[in-house]
Amino acid sequence: MLGAFRSALATPDLRRKILFTLGILALYRLGSQLPSPGVNFANVQQCISGLDQSGVFGLISLFSGGALLQLSVFSLGILPYITASIIIQLLTVVIPRFEQLKKEGQAGQNKLTQYTRYLTVALAILQSTGIIALATRGQLFGSCPAQVIPDQSLFSLSVVVVTMTAGTAIIMWFGELITERGVGNGMSILMFTSIAARIPTEGQNILQQGGGLVFTAICVFGLLIIGFVIFLEQAQRRIPVQYAKRMIGRRMYGGTSTYLPLKVNQAGVIPVIFASSLLYLPQLIISLTTNQGGSGGWQQWVQTYIVQANAPGHIALYFALIIFFTYFYVAITFNPDERADEMRKFGGFIPGIRPGRPTSEYLSYVLNRITLPGSLYLGIVAVLPTFFLGVTGNQSANNNFPFGGTAVLIMVGVGLDTIKQIESQLMQRNYEGFLR
């Protein structure tokens, strides 16, 4: 593998792409540490120390590499673009116009990408406004008395909101530049960088709070989890497909055998993101209704049995939501009827299955069978950080735990995809990839 890396750096074109990607990532991390105008950086650091980051904005902080709580230029990170992409993808099933654009090829895809950009900017404005409103009221950092934004005039707050929104637009541009001129998918690599940037801090916290023995045990167990995730991310069910022979002029075409790959984890990390976002709603409702008077009995019950990360109700609800969203997302992204119709148009069929409706029913049957272990796998990996709360003593390890949940799923998926792309470019030049 080291020889393959040396070959990649020795290839001028590939070396240029790798260095360009690293340069964009360096600029991205610089913007994540650069404070927004009007923000008191010293007070922000004072409020961050000892703060429990498992609250409503824990997921956003994860995708921004910790830049959210620092109110930096790139505070929102890549999450507005992820949310906009998911919304546009879901709307293609509901809105006929979007579905037609999806079928128009590259021109329609460019139009959908433009809609995604507009929606990203709109979501960035909403999220930055909400974050600044919480910061000015002293609710973003808990009970921290320090003023993170000393000048709370309308103009000063508007400048911070515009800066954060512009930062999101720049991040979106960085991702597109990496995709066009660098290596791998730009948005995915930016997510990978944000999550990886938090691993040293989280590891230091575990080492200080749990000691060297606990830190070593967690590192070993983390490697086992990564191996388990890699194995299941690569797992797939290959359905054999046979294409009939056709005479076109004097030549015969077709007659080849191939397969239709159905991944065990067909939905990726999207169900975990959906479930995590939905689980933040009870805590948000409690924070909005606590100051309205009343006995607060139901707020206390929800806080104890639902909001607390190590509560049995929280774990069970989180696990159930992941299973539900896995089936939901697979159902809207993989259409067995369309696959069966495409196979029939090109003369393909599954051996032993008649083309048309029987093929669609067979694909639905296989997909439902493999989605169940995929959803269980996502649920197990997502709830693993909860079981380490008592071991590490790090009560903010909810979504920020370095070897579990959303972080490890994204890092392993992006890492595998990037290595495959580099390997494919090496194979085009010297037929030697990373694995020999």
Assign domain 210-403 to a CATH class. mainly alpha
**Distance in angstroms (rounded) separating the CA atoms of residues 375 and 381:** 10
Q: How many residues does the chain have?
A: 436
Rounded to the nearest integer, the mean pLDDT of the chain is: 79
2 pLDDT exceeds 70? no
Q: Is the pTM of this model over 0.85?
A: no
**Distance in angstroms (rounded) separating the CA atoms of residues 84 and 50:** 32
Tokens (6 digits) for 71: 């109110």
DSSP conformation class of 36: P
Mean of pLDDT values over 150-173:
89
135 pLDDT exceeds 50? yes
Domain locations along the chain = 1-197+416-436, 210-403
**Distance in angstroms (rounded) separating the CA atoms of residues 252 and 233:** 38
pLDDT digits (tens, 9 = 90+) for 352-375: 888 888 889 999 999 999 999 999
Binned at pLDDT 50, 70 and 90, residue 121 comes out as very high
- The residues near 191 (Cβ < 8 Å, ≥ 6 apart) are 63, 78, 82, 410, 414
397 pLDDT exceeds 50? no
What percent of the chain has pLDDT above 70?
77
Binned at pLDDT 50, 70 and 90, residue 20 comes out as very high
CATH 1.10.3370.10, applies to 1-197+416-436:
yes
**Any bridge partners for residue 248, and if so which?**
251
Q: What is the DSSP string of 280-310?
A: HHHHHHHHHHGGG-S--HHHHHHIIIIISTT
Contact 374, 367 (CB under 8 A): no
pLDDT of 390: 47
431 pLDDT exceeds 60? no
